[in-house]
């Protein structure tokens, strides 16, 4: 099971935090700080997989990848394959790139609802839903169309005449 997804900048400021098991806000902040410390202390030529038993308990690992100034972090247990998680992270980033035309930190900050929608199309409840970035982009476009249509339609109330 996927335990969480975090996007943070290279200064440790979280841009997206999604845990699939309840964590109090204080604990989330503590975990983000701890993960940032771990990632900053790692050399560039080491593996992107980290055992984080001390933070999340036994058999929990994280995989991370740096894109420009952002760390993308997936936290998962031993029921998930490490390479599959790295591939899923790549799908997530590719989808963000397609939706935002070369995604950057500001896209994530100012379009957080869309980023959460994209993540929900890829992972829901800690389970992988979709691994095709094209399918995710189509689903996000459909959701955007529905949102635009629902905002433009004023529902009529039978028997009401503006009194």
User: pLDDT tens digits for 84-110?
Assistant: 999 999 999 999 999 998 889 999 999
- Residue 109 CA to its chain's centroid (Å): 13
Q: Is residue 95 in some structural domain? A: yes
pTM for this entry: 0.87
CA–CA dist 145, 12 (Å, integer): 34
| Residue numbers of the domain that contains 68 | 2-152
Q: Is residue 44 in some structural domain? A: yes
Residue (of 39, 98, 45, 102) closest to 72 by Cα position: 39
pLDDT of residue 163: 47
* Strand residue runs (E) in the chain: 2-9, 14-19, 49-51, 60-67, 70-77, 123-124, 127-128
pLDDT of residue 130: 93
Residue (of 8, 146, 118, 26) closest to 70 by Cα position: 8
The yes-or-no verdict on residue 40 having pLDDT over 70 is: yes
**Per residue in 108-161, pLDDT tens?**
999 999 999 999 999 999 999 999 999 999 999 999 888 888 766 555 556 655
pLDDT > 70: percent of the chain:
92
The yes-or-no verdict on residue 15 having pLDDT over 80 is: yes
Q: Is residue 48 in some structural domain? A: yes
CATH code (residue 10): 3.30.450.60
Tell me the C-alpha to C-alpha distance, in Å, between residue 141 and each of 1, 19, 134, 157.
Answer: 27, 25, 11, 29
Residue (of 97, 101, 99, 92) closest to 16 by Cα position: 92
Read off the pLDDT of each residue in 73-89 and give the average, rounded to a whole number.
95
- Pull the structure tokens for residue 161: 């005449």
pLDDT of residue 152: 61
State the total domains in the chain: 1
- Pull the structure tokens for residue 20: 């699939």
Q: How confident is the prediction for the chain on average, in pLDDT?
A: 90
Q: Is residue 133 in some structural domain? A: yes
CA–CA dist 54, 46 (Å, integer): 20
Neighbours of 79 (CB within 10 A): 9
């Amino acid at each position: 099971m996927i335990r969480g997804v975090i996007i943070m900048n290279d200064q440790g400021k979280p841009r997206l935090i999604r845990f699939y098991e309840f964590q109090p806000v204080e604990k989330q902040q503590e975990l983000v700080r701890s993960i940032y410390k771990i990632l900053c202390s790692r050399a560039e030529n080491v593996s992107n997989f980290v055992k984080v038993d001390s933070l999340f308990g036994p058999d929990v690992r994280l995989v991370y990848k740096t894109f420009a100034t952002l760390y993308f972090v997936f936290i998962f247990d031993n029921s998930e394959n490490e390479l599959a998680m790295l591939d899923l992270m790549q799908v997530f980033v590719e989808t963000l790139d397609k939706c935002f035309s070369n995604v950057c930190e500001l896209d994530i900050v100012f379009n957080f609802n869309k980023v959460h929608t994209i993540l929900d199309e890829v992972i829901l409840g800690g389970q992988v839903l979709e691994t095709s970035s094209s399918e995710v982009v189509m689903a996000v476009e459909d959701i955007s169309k529905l949102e635009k249509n629902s905002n433009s339609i004023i529902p009529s109330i039978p028997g009401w005449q503006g009194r």
